[in-house]
Structure 1
Amino acid sequence: MRPRIYVSSVFVDDQAKALAFYTEKLGFVVKNDIPIGAARWLTVVSPDAPDGVELLLEPNEHPAALAYQQALVEDGIPCTSFMVDDVAAAYAELVANGVRALGEPADMGTTTAITVDDTCGNLLQFVSMNE
């Protein structure tokens, strides 16, 4: 068996708000938007990899999901990380687009990273490899 990552979830407090943030602020594109009862199977992908890993913007309606999400934020822990070519440039672009960063890019040895607030109950990390 050689499994591959197909979908990864990020719990969000509002799917419409999350869709706007992840597409308008981060530049992802919609892969699936399928109504499922009161919620949607709502996934986004990188425009550079439309057939790549999908990020599911999943409602945090289950009490365990909400508690998990809140605990991570309270402890300052990002729920997921995204790779970029240049974190300093990503930081400048994100801040210019109104995204709240929790500090400036930080050198972490082999990587440089920033953490941002996705406005939907999560902290996200962006990293680039140091040469």
Structure 2
Amino acid sequence: MITSFTHSTIWVLDQAAAKKFYSEKLGLEVREELKTDTFSWLTVGAPGQPDVQLVLMEPGRPAHDPETEKQIRDLIAKGALGGGVFGTDDCRKTYEQLSANGVVFLQEPAERPYGVEAIFRDDSGSWFSLTERRPYDESKSFAG
């Protein structure tokens, strides 16, 4: 029986650069770092959320053949991959803080039906939503 979801992978072009971006610019904690001759494992996570870790992984062996690795790297670099949603209590304030840290935003904070959202890109090219969620209002649901 599955009991939890603990890790999710974010594909990066350079693990060392990604470590600096995610820890120094975004303020995430480095959780695990393991290097062997053939493999490098690096995870980060949001302070106060110890049960979820983001695996910052470079494409390549053992999971990918050289052609697939190149295709994934090309998709990352052109910004074709989205990594998910980072939550915040105050999107506009966090936008200002992250912008001051050098994070590049594709969209400034804007009102959305689900809250306030800004879109940023990591140092590899992947994009993420920074979202301040509103409580769910069933009357505004798209279901019909």
Pairwise TM-score range, normalised by the shorter structure:
0.7 to 0.9
Counterparts in 2 of 1:108 and 1:77: CA distance versus 1, 3 Å: farther
* TM-score, normalisation: structure 1: 0.85
Structure 1 stretch displaced more, 66-75 or 54-63: 66-75
Aligned residue in 1 for 2:47: 47
CA–CA distance in structure 2, aligned partners of residues 108 and 43 of structure 1: 31
Counterparts in 2 of 1:58 and 1:76: CA distance versus 1, 3 Å: closer
CA–CA distance in structure 2, aligned partners of residues 65 and 115 of structure 1: 26
Aligned residue in 1 for 2:23: 23
CA–CA distance in structure 1, aligned partners of residues 59 and 38 of structure 2: 13
Q: Which ranges in structure 1 are unaligned for 5 or more consecutive residues?
A: none
CA–CA distance in structure 1, aligned partners of residues 26 and 98 of structure 2: 8
Deviation string 1:11-59 (CA, Å, 9 cap, x unpaired) is 000000000000001111111100033441100111212x310100000
1:99 and 2:98 are equivalent in the alignment: no
* TM-score, normalisation: structure 2: 0.78
Counterparts in 2 of 1:89 and 1:58: CA distance versus 1, 3 Å: same
2:104 match: secondary structure: coil
1:121 match: secondary structure: coil
Aligned length: 130
In structure 2, what residue type is equivalent to 1:31?
R
Tell me if the contact between 2:78 and 2:125 (Cα under 8 Å) persists in the aligned partners. no
Deviation string 1:74-109 (CA, Å, 9 cap, x unpaired) is 576622111111111111111111111012112220
Tell me if the contact between 1:78 and 1:115 (Cα under 8 Å) persists in the aligned partners. no
1:128 and 2:132 are equivalent in the alignment: yes
1:89 and 2:93 are equivalent in the alignment: yes
Task: Find the structure with the greater CA-based Rg.
Answer: 2
RMSD value, Cα: 2.2
Aligned residue in 1 for 2:57: 58
CA–CA distance in structure 2, aligned partners of residues 44 and 3 of structure 1: 21
- 1:130, distance to aligned residue in structure 2 (A): 2.8
Structure 1 stretch displaced more, 82-91 or 59-68: 59-68
Tell me if the contact between 1:87 and 1:126 (Cα under 8 Å) persists in the aligned partners. yes
